[in-house]
Structure 1
Amino acid sequence: MTAACPSAPRPVRPPAGHPGLLALAQSYVDDAAARGELPRRELGGLPGTRVRVDPEFCRTVARHFDRAPRRDLGPDLAARYRRFTEENLRHFALLARAGIRVEPWRGPGQPYRGAADLVDRLARTGVLHVYLTRDGHGPGGPAPDHPLCAPSGVTVGGVALLHNDIFRAVHDVFGHVMLGASMGVAGEFLAAYGHMAMYSPQVHPVVFTEQVSQICWFFHGPHLADRAGRWPRRGEPGWIPPSERPYPEQKLFSCPPGFLDRFTASFTEEAR
């Protein structure tokens, strides 16, 4: 197995407009830990976290995602998803405390050009635009038999948000903005890892499936390999720009044993 050298994600502008996000997240974790819902954890080392991206691990995850059944929802996984949606709603409620106003994106394409644009515009305006699930969601659009495609009970700007919309909002804020994480593989890994600190261990496998597995498939999926079994790099024949790649299907399956441990072992937090 080959591995890339440890490296920090591509830097974006630090979230200077929202310096209280990390403190808000820490307060949330402390309160939840006092209730016995989360393990106690100091988040101060997260912004300097380094991530080792192992392409072979990414391809292993992508292959598993590609071969996984579309729906494999047993009672245990259903309970994890219920807990996941409940915790996402709690995270969403924190956005107002941070002075962030959420609005559905009504313009063409994606609301942001990348993480730097997201951080900059949120800092300047205090508005987070959410790219709605109904406007972009894998092949075939939102599937009503997926728990995250159910109504969340939250309405903003006259739009009833799905649970997946809620997750997109809190992932952007407590992943990308709070940690200044890019939207490449390393940055998405960092965003998922940092945001996991605000979730109970019960739902970490769900975060892995919904975020990490899909990112691995999007960037390292078998559909991107050439006939020789190679993944072409930018500028090489056969390389497909991200803007032309399909979104992964939102599947329902349990995170395989060992995947989550290998993922979390990829990170080294800043010593404090």
Structure 2
Amino acid sequence: MHRTITQRPVSLLRRGADAYCLATDLPIFHLDPGAVTSDARIGRRIAAAYLAGPAADTAAEPAYRAFRAETAAQFEFLTRSRGRGGLGIEVLVQAEDPYPDAAAMTSDLRDFGLLRVYGTAGCGNPHPYLSNDDNDMFRAVHDAFGHAATGRGFDRHGEEAAWLKHATMYSPLARQAMTTETRGQTCVFFYYFKGERFPRQKMFVLPEPFWRLDIPPATGGGERG
């Protein structure tokens, strides 16, 4: 089944994702974002695993340290001026949800080089390990490289496509935490809470089948653990 891409991908961000992977010696995975769907059977299994997971597992700290460092590097690349080799995107953190849909967000990015982010501080759902600034940086890079770079929206299929695309920009270690923060939470949101509220944020690693990428890299000769 091929999903309709809800808005035109932002070419600057699509090219930027590949450039970041090349600069950080990560393999590039060529994906068809419109072909990605969320399998309800797998989604319910991921939701159950997230809900059953601990609030904070110290064994997950190495993955979260890597995730935090790599997210900060992506954010620096996203916001660094084009004259200095970055993408030159301005990020504004706001106290309220700034966009009615993904189309409005991509329009801001394409037309003005601007990305507004719903600040973590106003959500009343603190993370047991990441700071609000860490969370806000991740929201920015995930919206940019996961959603705007693929043209996929915020429904369950769009979130699955955004996870898959953005996950390719992380090392396997960091991807473990990144998957908990995206695929884990969104599966609970859609398959357990029926889109009404997000789950409590946690720090743990989902089982390997849920964060492993089962697609061959197009360049880079494979992944390093």
TM-score, length basis structure 2: 0.85
The Cα of 1:90 is off from its aligned counterpart by 0.8
Give deviations 1:173-230, integer Å, cap 9, x for gaps.
0011111111011111111111111111111111111100100000001x55xxxxxx
Q: Percent identity?
A: 31
| 1:125 to 2:116 alignment | no
Q: Which has the larger Rg?
A: 1
4+ aligned runs moved over 4 Å, structure 1? 267-270
Match of 1:104 among 93, 101, 120: 93
How many matched pairs?
A: 212
| 1:79 to 2:62 alignment | yes
Q: Distance in 2 between matches of 1:20 and 1:133?
A: 26
Query: In structure 1, what is the equivalent of residue 140 of structure 2?
Result: 169
Match of 1:247 among 198, 202, 211: 198
| 1:257 to 2:200 alignment | no
Query: In structure 2, what is the equivalent of residue 64 of structure 1?
Result: 49
Matched-pair contact (CA < 8 Å) for 2:63–2:174: yes
- SS of the residue corresponding to residue 208 of structure 2 reads coil
Q: Distance in 2 between matches of 1:46 and 1:269?
A: 10
Matched-pair contact (CA < 8 Å) for 1:50–1:269: no
The answer to which of 163-172 and 113-122 deviates more is 113-122
The Cα of 1:47 is off from its aligned counterpart by 4.9
Amino acid at match of 1:258: P
Any stretches of 5+ residues in structure 2 without a counterpart? 80-85, 219-225
Query: In structure 2, what is the equivalent of residue 229 of structure 1?
Result: none
CA-based RMSD of the aligned residues comes to: 2.3
- SS of the residue corresponding to residue 62 of structure 1 reads helix
Matched-pair contact (CA < 8 Å) for 2:180–2:206: yes
- SS of the residue corresponding to residue 46 of structure 1 reads coil
Within-5 A mapping of 1:167-246: 167-221=138-192, 223-224=193-194, 242=195, 245-246=196-197
Match of 1:24 among 11, 16, 40: 16
